[in-house]
Structure 1
């Protein structure tokens, strides 16, 4: 059980990190588009 649980946690942490990276990239792209309208 211990090994399975730790593997599950690692997998969840990886998914969460990837999700955060995706959100940050989307925000950066949106902010760039927003800035480009003014420039």
Structure 2
């Protein structure tokens, strides 16, 4: 396992914008992050 995140969260200006997010990325996996703000 290269990356493992378990139940992380993110707050912005006192508001929860991500809650209980988990992610696993193994060797050889290919990922893309894409969003309306042009990320990815």
Question: Rg: which structure is higher?
Answer: 1
Normalising by structure 1, what TM-score?
0.14
Whose strand fraction is larger, Structure 1's or Structure 2's? 2
Whose helix fraction is larger, Structure 1's or Structure 2's? 1
Q: Which has the higher contact order (CA 8 A, sep 6+)?
A: 2
Normalising by structure 2, what TM-score?
0.14
